[in-house]
Amino acid sequence: MSILTLTNYDLPSECSAILFKTLGDSIAIEHWATINQETFHEDATLIIFKDCGDLPESIYKNPAIINSKTIFISENFSLKTIYELCAHNLLSFIDYNDLSIATLQAAIAACRMESLFISRTILTIFKSAAPAAKKIIPISKREIEIIKLIGEELTTKEIASRLYLSKRTVDTHRQNLMRKLNVRNNIGLIKVAIQRHLIRF
């Protein structure tokens, strides 16, 4: 598996050590400004920026870089930034303070399945965000089971197998949950579920 790492500053030694211990010779570290951003062929891309607000538009809006095979490592995440990047199909987010071999391995595994991955510190952002509404909406036990499995990054097929349901039934539950909780995607579903204490990580 080839991994390209793009960064906008000299990485601290402890960060580089984690990258090389996790990825070995499969990793190449480059400054984002020196890369031909139109000819990416890597299996996955890591983007490491000191502040997520510094992400340049040339990367932000380039689907060859920002996609479901990308892992974004940074600090000072906001819900707005995460939602905007999710709209460009980026699904893996690691707060720099959470960076470890285990966390990076988990994020890479999520990338391979094109599943959502959010590190612990970023989850607290969702927990602390005030719910948009206090209205109580009944959520069934089965729906809570499905939310938990979505949070564990299982695919629709895997959830169906785990719960002995058809893929169509799982999709129906997912759509009903999004309608009940007034969200548009899996990341919104997990956010509201955490806020309302429906699930815990």
- Whether the CA torsion 162, 166, 167, 169 is positive or negative: it is negative
Assign 166 a pLDDT band (cuts: 50, 70, 90). Answer: very high
Instruction: Give the CA angle between residues 63, 64, 69 to the nearest 5°.
Output: 90
Q: Is the pLDDT of residue 134 over 50?
A: no
pLDDT at residue 10, rounded to an integer = 78
**What is the spatial distance between Cα 123 and Cα 125, in angstroms, rounded to a whole number?**
5
Assign 46 a pLDDT band (cuts: 50, 70, 90). Answer: confident
pLDDT at residue 133, rounded to an integer = 42
- Whether the CA torsion 68, 119, 81, 180 is positive or negative: it is positive
**Domains and their CATH numbers in the chain:** 3-128 (3.40.50.2300), 141-195 (1.10.10.10)
Burial of 6 (0-12, 13-18, 19+ CB in 10 A): buried
pLDDT at residue 164, rounded to an integer = 92
Residue tagged 């000191």 (tokens): 50
Q: What is the mean pLDDT of residues 84-92?
A: 78
pLDDT at residue 100, rounded to an integer = 92
Q: Is the pLDDT of residue 160 over 90?
A: yes
- Using the 8-state DSSP alphabet, how is residue 98 labeled? G
| 83 Cα distance to chain centroid | 10
Instruction: Give the CA angle between residues 42, 48, 24 to the nearest 5°.
Output: 55
Contacts with 149 (C-beta within 8 Å, 6 or more apart), sequence order:
158, 159, 162, 163
Q: What is the mean pLDDT of residues 16-24?
A: 80
Mean pLDDT comparison of 118-127, 167-176, 187-196, highest-scoring range: 167-176
**167-185 per-position pLDDT tens digit:** 999 999 999 888 888 888 8
pTM: predicted TM-score of the whole model, two decimal places: 0.61
